[in-house]
Structures are given as C-alpha cells and as structure tokens.
Amino acid sequence: NAGVTQTPKFRVLKTGQSMTLLCAQDMNHEYMYWYRQDPGMGLRLIHYSVGEGTTAKGEVPDGYNVSRLKKQNFLLGLESAAPSQTSVYFCASSYSTGTNQPQHFGDGTRLSIL
C-alpha cells in the first residue's frame, strides 16, 4: 500500500548544481502538488498539476520547474540550486473532485544546498 512515494529522502547539493525530485502515486489521483516547508513556517505551494501534461504555478514557483508526463508521476526540478532552496519538500496528490476527498502526502525530501 505505497500511496505517495518521494525519492530521494535526503540530498545535499552545492550551489549551482541541478537535481530532480520524483513523486509517484498509485492511487490514480488526477491532482498532484509540490510544497516546501521551512522551519517555523507553514506549507507553501510551489507548483501543481491537475492532470497529465498540465502544470501550474503555485505561491512560490521561482527557481523550480515541474513536469507531469505520466499521471502517476510529478517531477520537481531545480536547475541551479541556491541556498535559499534548502528546505523540506513534500509531494501530495488528490482526486480532482468529491466532497471530503483529502490530500495524501509523501514522507518528504530533505534538501540542503551548500
């Protein structure tokens, strides 16, 4: 019963390096989301997708790109990592509609940029 799986769990990068975070869900959810959470702060939406092949910007999209080539996968890319992107990144997914259909979260990726 995997749910939402994020890889990697931890990563340390140097400033200027690039990397991709992978999110996979096996619940056939239409919507997928990427959030970041910094100490003492709430979740902030980076990008989201309402379906395969579609993406949209959230609250804090700068410095990130995303792709949703397959319904079950949502990739978050950092083209040129900066120390300000040190954070915990959470992926989530949900059904598109339906009363009381919640978001389901992955267990996070802890990313440090040196």
Partner 1 sequence: RKEVEQDPGPFNVPEGATVAFNCTYSNSASQSFFWYRQDCRKEPKLLMSVYSSGNEDGRFTAQLNRASQYISLLIRDSKLSDSATYLCVVRRSNTGNQFYFGTGTSLTVIP
The residue range among 19-27, 65-73, 79-87, 103-111 that interacts with partner 1, by the rule CB under 8 A, is 103-111
Total residues contacting partner 1 by CB under 8 A comes to 23
Residue 34 binding partner 1, by CB under 8 A: no
Residue 90 binding partner 1, by CB under 8 A: yes
Q: What is the distance in angstroms between the CA of the first residue and the CA of the last residue of the chain? A: 35
Residue 89 binding partner 1, by CB under 8 A: no
**From CA 72, how far away is CA 24, in angstroms rounded?**
5
Considering the complex, state which of residue 19 and residue 43 has its C-beta at the smaller distance from partner 1: 43
Considering the complex, state which of residue 29 and residue 113 has its C-beta at the smaller distance from partner 1: 29
Helix H, strand E, coil C: the string for the chain is CCCEEEECCEEEECCCCCEEEEEEECCCCCEEEEEEECCCCCEEEEEEEEECCEEEECCCCCCEEEECCCCCEEEEEECCCCHHHCEEEEEEEECCCCCCCCCEECCCEEEEEC
Q: Which of residues 38-77 bind partner 1 (CB under 8 A)?
A: 41-43, 48, 50
**What residues make contact with partner 1 under the rule CB under 8 A?**
31, 33, 41-43, 48, 50, 88, 90, 94, 96-97, 99-108, 110
